[in-house]
Structure 1
């Protein structure tokens, strides 16, 4: 079959079982729960196969929602909901991308019973881009937050129960300046923003973000605020919730998203990423 710009395939569309089987795309662990989504952008899908012969897809599976993997909070793993006749949650991993022949894919039609909502399609795009928009925090800051204090785990634990209500956790370290810190008394200054959704239930999302912020503040104070009323290693100046409808783009550009599977510049620690 010929490929033309009127192809029915679009980024975010799902392959049916006929295409999955024909192209050998069954999930290696849960083959009976396989979900395959198109990752290639619409503009590239429309290009002549002579010049762009493959379509990139991501092989995933049905899964129970994990709050730390929604809203592209985790660059390695995405949990996202498909709406339609029988809505479901799917899990995709960034390492499960596969190239398929564009002309072979053209022999099949995308699923029409379920689709991503507009807001979820935007999340998919953010997640696909996130691994290519990495920005690292200083290794010493990472070491203090992850290995020395285990506070990174506390942040993830505080956010996880609130799932979709929290869009992300953002850091401002030393007001964006690169400062070399030495010793526990030479503290990093950290401001944390807990970004929450505005719809469909603003109050529930605000309460969730406030609850997460309170838990994070408590963890930092218990771990790093010594009996002499002095911060050690990292000074948490504030941890505040804010709505997506209120955060300005100017402020947003100054923040760095703290991924819940972050990695630093070094090979062993983990790395954080820029906000989208």
Structure 2
């Protein structure tokens, strides 16, 4: 598999081309297959799940074993490890039938790939105000099994002076399996709201399940990514693109 970019046994290759493109009859129109190289990891990083970070994604796959049955397999994907390979190199490869992605994680993968191009760009001044929030990673980690995504709108969506005020609508979308709002989610949202208010950001927060949320509501907001929380250097407020 070295010709496909696999360098060690802990690395896997996920095909991210749509199946119709792979099977397309014209090699001239579809000469290549898109793949991404990923690595096995010991556990999931909550900051890297649910397509929250556009550069790195942690996924839970399923490892099938004839003796032990199905067990979780944790994978880390990096946007910089996407590749396009010739179908000539790909055509003789067979899939690993012992590793699967369920529908939920397949959707997350698709959302993460798309977020590279359609994610929200927030003003640097707003990001700077949020950058100093304490315990954000710890709080987010505790909500990992409950929150599908955080959605946000920021007005005005531009740079303002430090004494001026942003107005934010923040929606915490809980997954369909949560029958009631877990305390960890309430604590995260309450502390985010408190931090915002302390930093001259007027805040309206809502916690709602996927079943209760309309498409129109989602369209009115943008998914809130957390990559800016990883960069603490005030001389470089905008994280570099990979």
TM bin, normalised by shorter chain, reads 0.7 to 0.9
Aligned mate of 1:242, from 182, 185, 208: 208
Separation of aligned partners in 2, 1:206 and 1:244: 14
Separation of aligned partners in 2, 1:219 and 1:116: 37
Matches within 5 A, 1:225-236: 232-235=199-202
Match of 2:32 in 1: 54
- Are 1:251 and 2:217 counterparts? yes
Which consecutive unaligned segments of at least 5 residues does structure 1 have? 1-19, 225-231, 272-276
After superposition, the Cα gap between the structure-2 partners of 1:111 and 1:179, relative to the gap in structure 1 and judged at 3 Å, is: closer
Q: Give the TM-score, by structure 2 length.
A: 0.82
Match of 2:93 in 1: 108
Q: Which has the higher strand share?
A: 2
CA shift for structure 1 position 51? 2.5
Match of 2:166 in 1: 188
Aligned mate of 1:81, from 60, 69, 87: 60
Match of 1:67 in 2: 46
Match of 2:237 in 1: 269
Deviations 1:204-253 (A, max 9, x none): x64332232133234445xx1xxxxxxx5322x23332111111111111
After superposition, the Cα gap between the structure-2 partners of 1:162 and 1:179, relative to the gap in structure 1 and judged at 3 Å, is: closer
Which consecutive unaligned segments of at least 5 residues does structure 2 have? 65-70, 230-234
Separation of aligned partners in 1, 2:76 and 2:172: 24
Aligned mate of 1:139, from 98, 111, 124: 124
- How many residue pairs get aligned? The number is 226
CA shift for structure 1 position 178? 4.3
Indicate the RMSD between aligned Cα atoms, in angstroms. Answer: 2.5
Separation of aligned partners in 2, 1:163 and 1:66: 9
Task: Answer yes or no: is the 8 Å Cα contact 1:66–1:163 preserved in 2.
Answer: no
Q: Which has the larger radius of gyration?
A: 1
Q: Give the TM-score, by structure 1 length.
A: 0.73
